[in-house]
Amino acid sequence: MKRAYADIPEGQMHYRTEGSGELLLLLHMAVSSSDEFTGMMHILSKKYCTIAPDFLGAGDSDPSPRKYNVIDHARTIASLMDVLKIKKANIVGHHLGSIVAAELAIKRPERVKKLVLSGIGYRPETDEGIPFEDPPNFMGAVELKKDGSHLMEWWRRTCLWGDYPVEILEERFVEYAKAGPRGEEAHWAAMDFNPKARLPLIKCPTLVVSATYDPFFSVAENVKSFIPGSKLKIIENGPIYLDRAMPKEFAGTILEFLNSSGK
């Protein structure tokens, strides 16, 4: 695995890459980075040229010039593909990454082969009868404090999403620290997406992935129904940090879908 920087119009975009063959882009969740995919990339790189960028303002990329929405982030991914001379790629997105991947597939269908949308966010309407609740205060702005209390707030947010080995918790914590006080802009961008209106516009072969302990598991069938001709794969006992915690299962699901012919 190599790490590198690409120069896009807004600045430097950091990315990880491993393997050769057909291209596979991996887009990370909010307040995270390409680091979440390292385990999966080792597996996927046997058959694909995997590239995982850090969104602007995340990981080791330059900050975005202002608060970016998912359309802006999708445009930066297209810029990255231009710089790396990638005409077309399969795209895997996890949470926010899946929203950005969806927008790229809608706006630039000629750049996307197949799409894998993992944990795409859909908050059901009350009349749909599906109970859903975000945990309290998981995305309010955090200011740096001289007593270091901002660190415990970031740690608390890291630990909201299930029980993991401390090494995985620490990986996610470092993402919060790297993104800094502007880090939550990524969550705000994700909230500003209308799945019911946008997802039906996807034309390419799509796999919806949902893990049973993911917050959006209860609406996975709804999401699948929004995307014409899409498939749905449930990963049993999968948590929200699916790629970090179950890289084999997640990578295996992707390989199976990409290897299958047609829709």
Provide the binding-site residues for other proteins, judged by CB under 8 A.
2-5, 12, 14, 60, 144-146, 148, 151-152, 155-156, 159, 166-167, 169-170, 173-174, 177-178, 180
Which candidate, 105, 97, 88, 86, places its Cα nearest to that of 40? 97
Residue whose CB is less far from other proteins, 51 or 112: 51
Minimum Å distance from CB 1 to other proteins? 9
Which candidate, 15, 135, 163, places its Cα nearest to that of 86? 15
Residue whose CB is less far from other proteins, 151 or 234: 151
Minimum Å distance from CB 195 to other proteins? 34
Residue whose CB is less far from other proteins, 84 or 223: 84
Name the token pair of 190. 């994700």
Minimum Å distance from CB 215 to other proteins? 22
Is residue 1 within 8 Å of 17, Cβ to Cβ?
yes
Strand bridging mode 48-53 / 11-18: antiparallel
Helix, strand, or coil (residue 123) = coil
Residue whose CB is less far from other proteins, 135 or 159: 159
Is residue 12 within 8 Å of 62, Cβ to Cβ?
yes
Residue whose CB is less far from other proteins, 172 or 233: 172
Minimum Å distance from CB 241 to other proteins? 15
DSSP annotation of 9: T
Residue whose CB is less far from other proteins, 156 or 263: 156
- How far apart CA 154 and CA 258 sit, in angstroms, is 36
- How far apart CA 46 and CA 187 sit, in angstroms, is 32
Q: How far is CA 224 from its chain centroid?
A: 17
Residue whose CB is less far from other proteins, 18 or 249: 18
Minimum Å distance from CB 148 to other proteins? 4
* φ/ψ of residue 205, rounded to 5: -55, 130
Minimum Å distance from CB 53 to other proteins? 14
Minimum Å distance from CB 147 to other proteins? 8
Minimum Å distance from CB 85 to other proteins? 19
Residue whose CB is less far from other proteins, 62 or 82: 62
Name the token pair of 234. 């449930």
Is residue 99 within 8 Å of 121, Cβ to Cβ?
yes
3, β-bridge pairs: 16
Name the token pair of 202. 């996807």
Which candidate, 132, 123, 50, 127, places its Cα nearest to that of 91? 50
